[in-house]
């Protein structure tokens, strides 16, 4: 038996905000943003919530897999921007899509969240607890952004991406090129000591007994240089570790599906891995950085546009607040 992705889905808000729109809000320009990030536009929610976007992506993934919500045994939502602290977003999604037999919970590993959710579901399924799972990364980061801070507000977008994964027999997983569909290796980690490089506050200590408690900022704060240095070093390192675990090299990978944070980071990772940049598909120019949603949204785009063939080997990798990082080697 092996665990494979059987379907993908995504959902984006209708409103598109271009760099020229951003220039009306803060002192910036299309040229400045493109040169430093590669982003030209992003989707911003005017009514969608994390749970409604997640549910739409999950429904699309189920349809793509030819599965029903009745069959779903596990739902994991990766998010750092839920609209509610209680109940968790996964339980909201369970209610919206009507999946009564599923266990549901959230994971917050920021931009690495979808990978952490994938790896968690994979571990559950390998123990025999579940035979399938819906995993989704969903964010409405626009509500966490300080729209007067040009160093962060130009980066982020809203959206959701999902995948339906299930246990399949080895025979059914066999591909014509000799590979076997499924997850081949997993690497994930954290560097909590450097967590202050990317942060966003929630409620501080506030009760009748607290005295002069400091309230944290409720906007995203980022030390861009520190995050860049972390990403350009840690992402290729964890990808190399995942490749080693799978017993292969970068030349054996058909596509590297990376967290879409910054085109310069992606180019640096490709250079360090000595891999052709053409193997690194990107959509950040159209959607920006959607945190946990970036990898599954890009994966869904590749799937639905016919750019993924059965037996293709992919590396999924990301990094985010925490600081967290991860990589998974999978065969489509």
Specify the pLDDT at position 211.
Answer: 78
From first to last of its 332 residues, what are the pLDDT tens digits of the chain? 899 999 999 999 999 999 999 999 999 999 999 999 999 999 999 999 999 999 999 999 999 999 999 999 999 999 999 999 999 999 999 999 999 999 999 999 999 999 999 999 999 999 999 999 999 999 999 999 999 999 999 999 999 999 999 999 988 899 999 999 999 999 999 999 999 999 998 888 888 888 777 777 889 999 999 999 999 999 999 999 999 999 999 999 999 999 999 999 999 999 999 999 999 999 999 999 999 999 999 999 999 999 999 999 999 999 999 999 999 999 99
225 and 327 share one domain: yes
108 and 70 share one domain: yes
162 and 24 share one domain: yes
214 and 257 share one domain: yes
Specify the pLDDT at position 52.
Answer: 98
- Distance CA(253)–CA(273), nearest Å, equals 11
**3-state secondary structure at position 9:** strand
250 and 223 share one domain: yes
State the Rg of the chain over Cα: 19
Q: Are 162 and 97 in contact (CB under 8 A)?
A: no
- Distance CA(147)–CA(128), nearest Å, equals 46
Neighbours of 133 (CB within 10 A): 25
- Distance CA(155)–CA(273), nearest Å, equals 25
Single pTM value for the model: 0.96
Neighbours of 251 (CB within 10 A): 11
108 and 36 share one domain: yes
192 and 167 share one domain: no
Q: Are 266 and 315 in contact (CB under 8 A)?
A: no
193 and 168 share one domain: no
Look up the CATH number of the domain holding residue 62: 3.40.47.10
DSSP-derived letter for residue 66 is T
247 and 111 share one domain: no
Q: Are 21 and 44 in contact (CB under 8 A)?
A: no
Domain with 32, as residue range(s), is 2-173
Specify the pLDDT at position 214.
Answer: 77
Count each helix (H run) and each strand (E run) in the chain, helices first. 11, 13
From the centroid of its chain, how far is CA 55? 15
- Distance CA(135)–CA(77), nearest Å, equals 6
Catalytic residue positions? 111, 259, 289
List, edge to edge, every strand of the sheet that includes 74-78: 2-11, 158-168, 132-140, 74-78, 103-107
256 and 306 share one domain: yes
For 135, phi then psi, to 5°, come to: -120, 140
> Could you tell me which residues come within 8 angstroms of residue 118 by beta carbon, excluding any fewer than 6 positions away?
135, 163, 165, 183, 316, 328
Specify the pLDDT at position 206.
Answer: 81
157 and 243 share one domain: no
Give the containing element (helix H, strand E) for 221. Answer: strand 221-222
Nearest to 257 by CA among 284, 219, 227, 224: 284
221 and 273 share one domain: yes
């Amino acid at each position: 038996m092996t665990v494979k992705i059987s379907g993908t889905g995504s959902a984006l808000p209708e409103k598109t905000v271009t760099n020229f729109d951003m220039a009306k809000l803060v002192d910036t320009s299309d040229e400045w943003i493109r040169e430093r990030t590669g982003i030209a536009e992003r989707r911003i929610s005017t009514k969608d919530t994390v749970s409604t976007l997640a549910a739409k992506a999950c429904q699309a993934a189920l349809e793509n897999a030819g599965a029903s919500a009745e069959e779903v045994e596990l739902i994991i939502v990766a998010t750092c921007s839920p609209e509610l602290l209680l109940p968790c977003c996964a339980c909201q999604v369970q209610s919206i899509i009507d999946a009564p037999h599923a266990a549901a919970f959230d994971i917050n590993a920021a931009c690495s969240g979808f990978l952490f959710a994938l790896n968690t579901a994979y571990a559950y399924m390998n123990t025999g607890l579940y035979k399938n799972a819906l995993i989704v990364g969903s964010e409405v980061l626009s509500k966490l952004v300080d729209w007067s801070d040009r160093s962060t507000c130009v980066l982020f977008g809203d959206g959701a991406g999902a995948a339906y994964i299930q246990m399949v027999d080895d025979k059914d997983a066999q591909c014509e090129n000799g590979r076997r569909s499924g997850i081949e290796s997993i690497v994930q980690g954290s560097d909590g000591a450097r967590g202050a490089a990317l942060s966003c506050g929630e409620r501080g200590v506030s009760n009748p007994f607290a005295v002069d408690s400091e309230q944290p900022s409720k906007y995203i704060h980022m030390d861009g240089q520190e995050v860049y240095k972390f990403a350009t070093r840690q992402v290729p390192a964890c990808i190399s570790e995942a490749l080693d675990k799978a017993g292969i090299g970068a030349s054996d990978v058909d596509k590297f599906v990376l967290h879409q944070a910054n085109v310069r980071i992606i180019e640096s990772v490709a250079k360090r891995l000595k891999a052709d940049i053409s193997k690194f598909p990107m959509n950040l120019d159209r959607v920006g950085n959607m945190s946990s949603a970036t990898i599954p949204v890009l994966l869904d785009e590749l799937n639905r546009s016919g750019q993924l063939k059965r037996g293709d080997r992919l590396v999924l990798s990301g990094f985010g607040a925490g600081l967290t990082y991860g990589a998974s080697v999978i065969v489509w």
